[in-house]
Amino acid sequence: MPGLDEDDARRRFAAARVARLATVSADGQPHLVPVVFAVAGDTLLMAVDQKPKRHRDLKRLRNIDDNPAVSLLVDRYDDDWSALWWVRADGTATVTEDEDVLARARAALGERYPQHRADPPEGPAFTVGVTRWTGWSAI
């Protein structure tokens, strides 16, 4: 299996429109949701479209509180399997209501997604410090 080097993996991930975020609950249950995101170096920026006081209602944020280890996946599927590739970003997540981080996440997301420019997420922000980029491509 041809692995992708780190720069290629990061570049492919950063160009994708959607990723899937895996978090783990205190009792070891995985949880998956699709997320929009922006990449700044080895940091992933995300935000939640929900008022801060209610954000602990979201399973992904409760899980990050209990276990900050997360994994995100970007993948390309095609019925022609020679076109398959995927990139995984493993790292540590931080949820923050810090206004500077939220402003940075909003700006980065707004550059990528017109929906976020029109209607910025209320927060909180959450960031992932990526400790490992892993990728594979069929060709």
Angle at the Cα of 61 (from 37 to 25), degrees rounded to 5? 115
The distance of closest approach from Cβ of residue 61 to a copy of itself in the complex, given in angstroms and rounded to an integer, is 15
Contact with a copy of itself (CB under 8 A): which of 3, 51, 77, 99? 77
User: How far, in Å, CA of 74 to CA of 44, rounded?
Assistant: 13
Contact with a copy of itself (CB under 8 A): which of 7, 17, 53, 100? 17
Among the listed ranges 5-13, 14-22, 102-110, 120-128, the one in contact with a copy of itself (CB under 8 A) is: 14-22
The distance of closest approach from Cβ of residue 69 to a copy of itself in the complex, given in angstroms and rounded to an integer, is 5
Encoded one letter per residue, x for contact with a copy of itself by CB under 8 A and - for no contact, window 19-58 reads: -x-xxx---xxxxxxx------------------------
Angle at the Cα of 62 (from 128 to 65), degrees rounded to 5? 55
User: How far, in Å, CA of 15 to CA of 38, rounded?
Assistant: 9
Angle at the Cα of 58 (from 117 to 17), degrees rounded to 5? 40
Binding site for a copy of itself (CB under 8 A): 17-18, 20, 22-24, 28-34, 67, 69-73, 75, 77, 79, 81, 84, 86, 88, 90, 115
